Every structure is written in structure tokens, then in C-alpha cells.
Structure 1
Amino acid sequence: MKTCEQWRVFEFTLNGPKSGNPFTDVKLFATFSHNNYAIRVRGFYDGNGVYKVRYMPESTGTWKVKTESNVPELTEKSEYFECVPATENNHGPVRVSGQTHFSYADGTPYLPFGTTAYAWCFQSPERQEKTLQTLKENKFNKIRMLIFPKSYSYNTAQPKVYPYVGKPKKVSAVFDDTTWMVKPEEIGFDFSRFVPEYFQHLERQIKALDELGVQADLILFHPYDSWGFARMGKKFDQLYLQYVIARFASLKNVWWALANEYDLLAAAGQKPLEAWDFIGQTVQAEDPSNHLTSIHNFYDPPRHKDTTKNWYDHSKPWITHLSIQTDNLFLVPKWLEQYNKPVVVDECRYEGNIEFGWGDNTATGMMDSFYRVVLRGGYATHGETYIDKPNTKRSIWWAHGGVLYGESQKRINYFKQLLEDNDFTYVVPIATEGPHWELAAGSSPDKKHILVYFGENQPEFEIFDFLPDKASYSAELIDTWNMHAEHFTEKIDNQHYFHLSRKNYQALLLTKN
């Protein structure tokens, strides 16, 4: 009998027809059953007459898989396999825990510290290897990445392989309101025929990320498109979702992002706003493993007052957590209270020197965003956009991956280690409204440690009146930029002032006496 480790991929492979269009003509499902549990899973065509059905078993013991198909040679095929316990480094997929936090399926805490390299999988093999090496050398444990290629400033090269059979043609910016589809005569690709090699490569790289302990936050759609992939229409959007979910949902480190900047697709004439409910419902229905799912905005309500009506309703059941673009980091507690779901600020500007406001933040600014978001109960994502000259051929991490030229990642690594060393399996935010509105503060779940971040604020005299009554703390003074901690001589409570040297980017790590 075959074996499969808990939370790994069990793959049932069959040979079937090559004629016609196997992606649309052939229907293949399999039921996976264990004790009194059974689930029906969609299969997919992997080219060269090979069909596969995949599933990620979550319970140990004996499982049975049995197929059903409209093709005789694929139907009523069955097999048994034994799901064996997970090994030491396999904690399963990440799930929401305690309403607003995350943990792995086995209960191990997960504190996401993300980064963004949208098109890293479409670069040269050497650059892709550098990307994986850079991730290995840092503490990022989530990466935002695209399934479709991207066409945008500093990222204009054509991919070597396309996801569909065909070749590029210039597409119109106008879609039909009923089908969401570009005009047929403008389609350069056959959206009913996938190129398996394209998705096999993505699959290998998702698995390579898993080996590093990195979650792959897969962006299903995006507006930066010159091929028509954002304008395929409802019918082919659904076919695409069924295909990629059938291929990737058995990989334990997958997250689904319905879109990068979903509202910009409507503004760009690619998808109407009402498309996203259908897309979210389809993902929820197709994924047998219930991976984390989000949707990412372009318009920031505090900055774009006239676009608040386009703000997605994150309370919908297929949305597991918020993925937000904003630089107003004071809103994190509001969203936590409003939606009672984890809040990930996946774009709070990037460290870099390009001409766009979202990509010219300083290293201190990027670091500062992490402290302010995380200590307010959310999670943050890093990005870097340094160029050596306009129209540079050097890789830009945010687009191509490769190597990091900035300085913020070192301080972000230090911050994550500081939290891990002091039992911050997640952060319990501490409200600092009133006279301390400018601070960010949070405690470890056991209340033993509290981290208070000052940022650019430089009080010489301070009193932490937000601390619990009758509690006394010893402290370490943290220089977050220079990544240095030293003993703080004064005891701290909520009744007495203490003295600080005036300096940028300080924090106090309090330990309860």
C-alpha cells in the first residue's frame, strides 16, 4: 500500500485521451474517504495523456480514492493509501487561530513576516535561485507572488513560457459587461488550453518555498496585464480557477489572494466589481483544503474618499483575513474590531528610490511600518524597489526577486527574532489612545512581556499610564535601527515618570517582575 505523510500531497495518476481538448472535454473527479469522512476533489490534465487528482490528507490512517469521469478509461478507478504522521518540520497548512491570528494546523504558532516579489518565477533560473537563497538568508516566511506574468514599469520582459496556448496580441481596455470578456478577435491565446509546463514550473517553485518554510501567497488575478489574462471573461475565469486550484490546493504552503488591487481591474476596464464575489465563491467551493484567502485593494479609503463605496466587504465567508494596501497604520485596530479577522498590511509602501510614492520609502520607514503594524495587532509585508538608474536591467526585488540591496530587512529580521525570543507567539495590542496616541504597544499572550515602540518620537520624560495597575516591570532599551539592546536601569509602572535619552527609533521591552 502506498503511503502519504499527513499534510503532504497524495497524487493519483491515470492515463487517458490526448485527442480533442482534454482541458474541457474530460471531466475527472475523485472521492477521498477515511472512516466516516469523504470529500470530492477535481482532477486536472497534466499533458501527454496524463491526468491527476491530488489531495492533502489531514488525518492519519487508511484512505480510499475512487474516480468518476465521463471518459471510460478514467472512471471507477480506485486505490488505497496510508496517511502516516507528519514529520518534525511538517506543521501543516497555516490557518486562522483565535479569530485574529494564525497558527499551523498542528497548533504551532505562525507569525507572518512577509515580503513581495511578484514575478520572481518568470525570471532566469539564476535569478530564481538567488531569490530562494535570499529568502533562506532572511526571516521572511511569506511571499506575495503572481500566477500570471506581469507587465508594468521596470517589468516589461515577456515570459519565456505563457500559461495558455497562443501568442500575445494587443488587447482592448473594454470588456463586455455581461461576459467580462475581451472581444474574441483580440484574443491572442486560447483560454481553454493551458500550457502544463508553465504551471509545473510554478509548482516546483512553490515546493521550493515550502522547503524554506515560506508560505506562497498566490495572486490569482492582477491588473498589470498586456495579454488579456485579466479580461478572459467569467467562463474562462472559472476554468482557470478550477485548474489552478486542482493543481495547487494540495500544497500545504499555498494561500489564495483573489487579486492584487481588485478595484483597479474595474477602473482599468478588466473586471467589474461584482466579479469578485463569484471569484471568491468559486475558490471557496473548489478548494478541498480550505486555504487562507484574501483580496487586496488599490484605493485606500483614507486617501481616496470618493472610492469608499468600492471597499470590499471583508466579512464575507470566503475571506479569511484582510490583505490591505495603506500607509495609514492607525487603522489596523479599527479593522480588527470591525471584521474580527487577521489584518495583514501587505503593502505599506516599499523601501526604494523609484519615482512612485509607493516605492520611495526609506529603510527606516519600512522598519517603522513593521513595528507599528505588528504591535497594533496586525501583520506587515516588506518590499524593496531600488534601481541603479532609470530603465535599469538590474533586478528589483519587488518585481524580479534576486538579491536585496536595502537595509530594512536586517532590522525586520531583528524584530522578528526579538518577538520569538520573548514568547510573542502573537501580539496582543495595547490601546495607547489619548496622550500616547503616537506609540505602538503590544504584549505577549502570557502578559509577561510588553514591547513599546517610539519610532521617531523622542520624549525625554515618559509615563506609561496604559500599563496594568499594581504591576511593575524591568526593561531593556532597544535601539531598533542599530539592533542593540541594553539594560534600562529604572523600574516602570503606570504611576511614575521615567527618563529617556532623546533618540530616534527606540523601543522598551518590559518584563513583568
Structure 2
Amino acid sequence: MRRLFLLALACGYALCAPMSAARAQGGPQVDRYGLAAANGPVERWGSAEIALTGPSGGNPFLEVDLSATFRQGARTLRVAGFYDGDGQYRVRFMPPEAGEWEYETHSNRAELDGRKGRLTAVAPSAGNHGPVRVKGTHHFAYEDGTPFWQVGTTSYAWIHQTEELQRQTLQTLAGAPFNKLRMAVFPNHDDKNEPPRFPFAGRPPKAWDLARFNPAFFRNLEQRVSQLRALGIEADLILFHPYDKGYWGFDRLPADVNERYLRYVVARLGAYRNVWWSMANEFDFLKEKTMPEWDRYFEIVQASDPYQHLRSIHNAFVLYNHTKPWVTHVSVQSGAIAEDFERAVLFRDVYNKPVVYDEVKYEGDFSRRWGQLTPQAMVLRFWMGAIAGTYVGHSESYEDPRGMMWLAKGGGLKGQSPPRLAFFRKILAESPAEGLEPIDKWQNHPFAGKHAQYYLGYFGLGTPASWPFVLFKTGLADGMRFRAEVIDTWNMAVTPVDGVFEIVKRDNYTYADKNGRAIALPGRPYMALRIVRVP
């Protein structure tokens, strides 16, 4: 799929519409925004659009209501529509099941009301596994059950750059290991270049008509989300952030404008299966907003989204109460918690939800302490997070005389961690589908996996010359047999260990190799072990 995407990118999005994998194989045709017409076939978990012409006078953003009800047998979904400017109205639908769907529009304007039709949802193409959901308690999977091993990155303002730079970012992502990208909807004033477009009608810096959105801004956002979808990358959309610092005023909009903005964003983007909603980045730096307001905004997104995409919020110093029912997973910033697995596991126990350490500092040489991780320290945090049964996010912040920092603007990657994270993701993909669970989290036991079946251990900065073959007791019995591999996580090598280890009970807590054997290790940091039961 990523190869098809690069071919489409090479032809130029301004000149030719990108091909989805399905279209390249003769499936449903989609436009440059990844949308299929409602009168043609659409993939299950694809995006169909009903386009209607209606009133353009007055202010349609405020004065015209539009929605549609989609029905398949006894199942119904009510989907909000939106005004796209120039008298054009749209309703977008992501079919949750294959088969025939009937729809009928509802509006306070006669020309938009009572429009009926049907569409056919066909089987998803290769690479389309549906939206990501919470799996069990602490992990993720696509809706078709395929495990989703989160290996994310962050580039806040990449969609607010030039067309050339946005394309470069997409080309970089096509060859990178990341399957989730955190990105801001509003522009970032830390970026001193003026963005090419803004979310509201009007003129910068503050002459905005807050009652009218700028459709061109959102079309660019949609195109980029669609292109990420073609790459198999989840778009973790940051709905608010504090980096405007009052310059444009998008960080301190009136509550009624914020609520209208949230409903508009959900209406436009909810039909893309790869969307996650991040309510804010460093929400506690938005001093004008109270905790009850954040609760209200969560409730609006939850109520407006018929597909119930994943929802969370990201902190600076104050933690949001992630136990609230509208929070699907924990998104946390912490510079130190993922330095070792015994700390990283703690938020799992507190919140009983999947935990993503989206910000654990960044690889780079930036002047601020949060941007000075070595590549080795970046990779170490991913492995420590995995052993804790959690997930970790990447970004990089290398100084550049042109201001081309991946964290801020995208473009290209300079660091050494991405190839190692690709190797890490491969190791994860070979793990049990249920997800990695800590084996014995209370006793400095650096293993996660599935009891009596699969063990993945990581020694981090430790430099052992050997490891005695000793496993925690749960699920074990005398005579069980295991094979082992030594994994060099930095040099990206897997070396099988000769022979089979047969275990016997050693004490109240452990089983050991019956012959007292140990596994030789090279005495350097960043080593791991993989142990798998054999018949």
C-alpha cells in the first residue's frame, strides 16, 4: 500500500487524484480526499459522501441543519452533515458492515430534506482492517481483530507548511516505521512562518469571522488524513493546543465557538477510519479552560461521532482524570516514567485502560532538556514501555538552521532511532495477538508476554554476561520445554540459542532449566531475550 502511495505522490496531488489500493485493483473509486460517491460502491470502513446543493445566502454554517440516517436492517446510524461553502453540503458515511445501506437526509431546508438513496458497502481491500479499538483492557486492535501495535510519532504543524514540505513529510512517513502520527488541527505560532490557510474566514492575525469556517483549510486537512490512511497510519488529531499563545486567538475562543468547531471537525473527519481524537496537547497550559469545560468538550465529541473513534487528552503537569467514561485510553507526557518498566506499568494499574506514553522527551540536540534524548535513550523507552504492557511515542528535535525540525514541521528524519523502531515493531508483530502483559511486575523481572507460552525480556542499560534460565511460575509445570533467542535491539540482530530448555520447579515462585543452564549474553546494553514454548 505504501508503494502505491509513493507512485501517486510522484504524479503530484495537484494534478492527479491519488489511487487507493482498492482503486488500483479495480475496486471503488475515490477522489483526492479518499471519498467514494454515495451512488457507487464503497469499501467497508471506507468513506462515502452524499453531495447536495443548497442555500448559500445568509450564514449556512449557523442557519442550516443537515444530517442523514443510514439503515441496514434493524441497525441505524445518524450522521451529521456540514456546509462546505459555495452552496455545497456534504454528509459522509463510513459503513461499519458490508452490504446494502439505505439513507435519508434530514434538514430544516426543504431542498436538503428527505433525499433518499442507497449505497453498497463491499469487502475491504488489503490493508483496510477498520478503525482501531481498545482490545481487552490494555491493548489495541483494528475492528477486524488484527492487532494494532502502536509505534507512533509526533509532528505538530506539518499540515500548516508549504505543499512541497507536506509532500516531503508524507514521503518520509512512507518509509518510516510509524503507524500513528500526532498532529495539530490549529496552526502553531512557534512556527514563525505564516500558515498558507486558517480554519476561520477572515484575515490574520485576529480579524476572524468566528461564525464561518474556511472550507479550504479543512479540505487540506482531509486530504492529509486520507493520505495517512493510504499509508496505514492513524491520524491522532490534536483538537486544541496552547501554542498559539494568543497571537491568532485560536487557543482562547469562546466556548460556543469551540463547541461548534468540534461538531464541524467530527462531521468532516469522522468517516475516516484512521482518525483518533486527542482533545488537547498539554491541556493544562490552556488556562482559560476549566475541567468542566474539558468534560463538556469530550461529551460533545463522543455524542457527535457515530463511529466512536478513540478519544484521549495529553497533559503537561496536571493529569486529567482518565477514568472518565468518555476517555478510551490514556495519553500521557512523562520524561522519565518509561526509563524503566517498573515505573511505566503504574498508569496501567491506576486507570485500567491502554496507556500510551505519547511524549517521553524527544531524540535530538535541541536547547531545551525535553529535546536532548540520544537515539539509544529513545529506543530504550519503547522497549521499557513494551515490557510494561504499554506503548510509547517518538519524535525528534534536531536543531536546523532552516528551522526544519520534525517535531514542529515534519519534512525529513535525521535521527538513528527509526530503523531500530522498525526492528522493534517487527518484534512486536511476532508477539501474541492478545498483547504483551507483564510477567512478574513486582520483582524487577524484565519480562512481558503470555504466561507459559511467550516471554520477551529486556535488560536495558544492564550489561549481563549471562542470564540463568529462570521463569516466573504462573502457568508453568515440570517438563515444559522452551527455545530462546538473543536479541540485540540496537544492532537489530536475532541470534537463536542452541538447544531446548526443559524446566522444573525451583521454589515457590520460579521454574528453572532442569540442568541449571544459563544463556550467554554479550555484556553490553540494550539486549533482549525471546523465549517461546515448544511442544
Compute the TM-score of the two structures, normalised by the length of structure 1.
0.88
Counterpart-to-counterpart distance in 2, 1:422 and 1:455: 19
Partner Cα distance (1:113, 1:140) in 2 = 5
Pick closer, same or farther for the CA change 1:432–1:342 going to 2, 3 Å: closer
Alignment partner for residue 162 of structure 1, among 193, 198, 219?
Answer: 198
Tell me, yes or no, if structure 1 residue 454 matches structure 2 residue 454.
no
Equivalent-residue separation in structure 2 for 1:396 and 1:405 (angstroms): 9
1:427 aligns to what? Answer: 436
The reply on whether 1:318 has 2:326 as its aligned counterpart is yes
Q: 1:497 to 1:359 in 2, by over 3 A?
A: farther
The whole-number CA distance in structure 2 between the counterparts of 1:130 and 1:440 is 39
Give yes or no for the alignment of 1:145 onto 2:183: yes
After TM superposition, the structure 1 = structure 2 runs for residues 37-52 of structure 1, keeping only pairs within 5 Å, are 37-52=75-90
Amino acid at match of 2:461: E
Task: For residue 250 of structure 1, report the CA deviation from its aligned partner.
Answer: 0.4
Which AA in structure 1 matches 2:366? I
CA distance in 2, matches of 1:359, 1:190: 37
Residue 198 (structure 1) aligns with:
217
Match of 2:487 in 1: 478
SS of the residue 1:102 aligns to: strand
Instruction: Give, in angstroms, the shift of residue 463 of structure 1.
Output: 3.6
Is the aligned partner of 1:242 residue 2:278? no
Moved more, 483-492 or 413-422: 483-492
The 10-residue stretch of structure 1 (503-512 or 315-324) with the greater mean CA deviation from structure 2: 503-512
Secondary structure, aligned partner of 1:59: coil
Contact 1:332 1:343 in 2 (8 A): no
CA deviations 1:98-146 (Å, max 9, x no partner) are: 1211111111111111011111111122221121111111221000001
Q: Tell me how far apart the structure 1 counterparts of residues 496 and 106 of structure 2 sit (CA, whole Å).
A: 67
Partner of 2:6: none
Which stretch of the first structure deviates more once superposed, 408-417 or 458-467?
458-467
How is 1:367-386 mapped onto 2 (pairs within 5 angstroms)? 367-386=379-398
The aligned counterpart of 1:366 is 378
Give the CA deviation at 1:465: 4.4
Match of 2:299 in 1: 281
Distance in 2 of aligned mates of 1:21 and 1:263: 34
1:441 to 444, 447, 451: 447
Matches within 5 A, 1:37-436: 37-152=75-190, 155-169=191-205, 187-225=206-244, 226-266=247-287, 270-299=288-317, 310-326=318-334, 327-329=336-338, 330-388=342-400, 392-423=401-432, 426-434=435-443
Tell me, in whole angstroms, the C-alpha distance in 1 between the residues paired with 2:139 and 2:213: 37
Check the 8 A contact 2:162/2:196 in 1, yes or no: no
Q: Answer with 456-465 or 224-233: which moved more.
A: 456-465
Unaligned segments of structure 1, at least 5 residues = 170-186, 300-309
Deviation at 1:3, TM superposition (A): 2.4
What is the RMSD of the two structures over their aligned residues, measured on CA atoms? 1.9
Q: For residues 424 and 214 of structure 2, what CA distance do their matches in structure 1 show?
A: 42
Question: Is the contact between residue 440 and residue 472 of structure 2 (CA under 8 Å) also seen in structure 1?
Answer: no
Q: Cα gap change, 1:167/1:497 in structure 2, threshold over 3 Å: closer, same or farther?
A: farther
* Secondary structure in structure 1 of the residue aligned to 2:389: coil
After superposing the two structures, state which structure 1 stretch, 271-280 or 406-415, moved more. 271-280
CA contact (8 A) 2:132 2:142 kept: yes
Contact 1:164 1:195 in 2 (8 A): yes
Describe the SS at the equivalent of 1:259: coil
Contact map agreement 2:149 2:428 (CA 8 A) in 1: no
Q: Secondary structure at the match of 1:148?
A: coil
The 3-state SS of whatever aligns with 1:274 is helix
Greater shift in the superposed pair: 326-335 or 44-53: 326-335
The whole-number CA distance in structure 2 between the counterparts of 1:106 and 1:417 is 20
**Which stretch of structure 1 is more off in the superposition, 451-460 or 418-427?**
418-427
Between the two proteins, what is the percent identity of the paired residues?
40
**Aligned equivalents of 2:517, 2:256: Cα separation in 1:** 65
Determine the C-alpha separation between the residues in 1 that align with 2:452 and 2:174: 32
Greater shift, 407-416 or 461-470, is seen at: 461-470
| Deviation for aligned residue 1:423 | 4.6
Give the CA deviation at 1:202: 0.6
Is residue 71–residue 103 contact of structure 2 (8 Å, CA) maintained in 1? Answer: yes
Q: Aligned AA for 2:383?
A: Y
Structure 1 stretches of 4+ with a deviation exceeding 6 A read none
